Amino acid sequence: MKNLENKKILLIICGGIAAYKSLETIRILKKNGCKIKTILTKNAKEFVTPLSVTSLSQGKVYDELFNAENENEMDHISLSRWADLVLVQPATANTIAKLANGSSEDLASTVILASNKPIFLAPAMNVRMWEHPSIKENLKILKSYSYKIIGPEIGEMACGEYGEGKMTEPEDIIKILNDYLFNLNNNKKYRALVTAGPTHEYIDPVRFITNKSSGKQGYEIAKSFLRNGFQTTLISGPTNLKIDEEINLIKVETAEEMFKETQKNLPVDVAVFSAAVSDFKVTEKKNIKIKKKEEFTLKFEKKC
């Protein structure tokens, strides 16, 4: 699995019986040339020991949110930034609930919420827990936040019951990570162009007509392209939105400016034109501000 070579994987091990399989996950990742850092939750220590994890990962195990030694070496922010991706295995019902509700009561949940990297969750729990409406609702929320869910599978569980909820096997999880990285690398050769937001068509130096648009749709589309490895350019009308630094952001105001910048950045492999471009502009823009008491008539021409 050459796409895993030299990749930095942050493995977060949570407190479920499937935690023992994390040792096999570490072994396979190391075999494929990955650099690994691990976080053990308090409950995970009931199933695997820090010593066994350290022995296989050949690195320190992080476990406490407030620890002077850890903070001096790598705080929760820099730990989340270090990784190329984050794998949570097993993702318990408790962990899923905390993440869906934005809770950050320990190092694991704090790192996940602070991360700007792809996060994979491999759930594992009893079949009745997996089928509970609250779990389904929490997973729906997490998917909307761009968390990637691996499994679970149907099979026999440690409790003796049979059904969906068994954690996906380490070999299959790692194959999914490898395929994800392959697609990410493969997509780097593709260019994406997105337009977003409104345009302003000026009447005089301070007044303009516009279409009501927040630009959110286009910005989210651009972020999605970036997450999937595309070289992404975003041409945006006036908004108050922020965008990832890796995206080539071109700010414009008028429809004419947006048209010219779009032409400059073509051709691309894929383009999404989601901007709310003004349909009309004034026939004659005034060079000075129109006085408040002055009566005037505006004439518009249709944009092509």
User: Which of the residue ranges 86-100, 103-117, 143-157, 195-209 has the most confident prediction, judged by mean pLDDT?
Assistant: 86-100
Q: What is the pLDDT of residue 67?
A: 59
What fold is seen in the domain 2-186?
Rossmann fold (3.40.50)
Angle at 166 between CA 163 and CA 167, to 5 degrees: 160
CATH of domain 191-302: 3.40.50.10300
Same fold, 2-186 and 191-302: yes
Whether residue 182 has pLDDT greater than 70? yes
pLDDT tens per residue across span 275-291: 999 888 887 778 888 78
Domain locations in the chain as residue ranges = 2-186, 191-302
Q: Does the annotation mark 34 as catalytic?
A: no
Residue among 14, 34, 159, 304 flagged as catalytic: 159
DSSP states along 70-90? HHHH--HHHHHHH-SEEEEEE
Provide the residue type at 176 as one letter. I
Averaged pLDDT score across all residues of the chain: 89
Percent of the chain past pLDDT 90, that is, above it, reads 67
Residue 69 confidence class, pLDDT cut points 50, 70, 90 = low
pLDDT, tens digit (0-9, with 9 covering 90-100), for 102-116: 988 889 999 999 898
CA angle 217, 185, 121 (to 5 degrees): 65
Residue 64 reports pLDDT greater than 80:
no
